[in-house]
């Protein structure tokens, strides 16, 4: 059983290995508080759908499903395949080791940079 103390120790180690900007993004991604259209629609009444494909724009949609970002996610798909990750939540540090969590967050940060979303999350 994972206690709060163990989880906090793991998260502290995880964030120590990231830059301040990556840590901020990682926290927002892991807490599901990233500025996706579906998240913003809860506060500002915006359309929650992706402007490129019409699906609800969630983190999972951006990182795994959106047709616009397909060509940018080869490294993420490879990582998910190698570590048998099926859900976006797992990719963002769910049941991974410390090293795997750091690698996955770095991959996601690089992916967000490539699709020009890093500054908006």
Domain-embedded: residue 2: no
What is the tally of structural domains in the chain?
1
Domain-embedded: residue 1: no
- DSSP summary character for residue 52: T
Question: Where in the sequence is the domain holding 98, given as residue range(s)?
Answer: 7-120
How much is the pTM? 0.71
Instruction: Please state the length of the chain.
Output: 121
| Digit-coded pLDDT (tens) for 23-46 | 887 788 777 788 889 988 999 988
Domain-embedded: residue 15: yes
Quick one: which of 82, 57, 73, 77 has its CA closest to 112?
73
Q: Which residues contact 32 (CB under 8 A, 6 or more apart)?
A: 39, 59
| Digit-coded pLDDT (tens) for 91-105 | 776 667 777 877 888
Q: Which residues contact 83 (CB under 8 A, 6 or more apart)?
A: 96, 100
Overall average pLDDT of the 70-90 stretch? 83
């Amino acid at each position: 059983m994972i206690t709060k103390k163990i989880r906090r120790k793991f998260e502290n180690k995880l964030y120590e290995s990231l830059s301040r900007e990556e840590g901020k993004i990682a926290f927002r991604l892991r807490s599901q508080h990233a500025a996706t259209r579906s998240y913003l629609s809860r506060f500002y009444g915006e359309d929650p759908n992706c402007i490129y494909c019409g699906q609800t724009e969630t983190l999972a949609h951006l990182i795994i499903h959106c047709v616009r970002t397909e060509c940018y996610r080869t490294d993420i798909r490879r990582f998910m395949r190698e570590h048998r990750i099926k859900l976006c939540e797992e990719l963002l540090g769910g049941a991974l080791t410390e090293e795997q969590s750091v690698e996955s967050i770095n991959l996601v940060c690089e992916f967000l940079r490539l699709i020009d979303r890093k500054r908006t999350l």
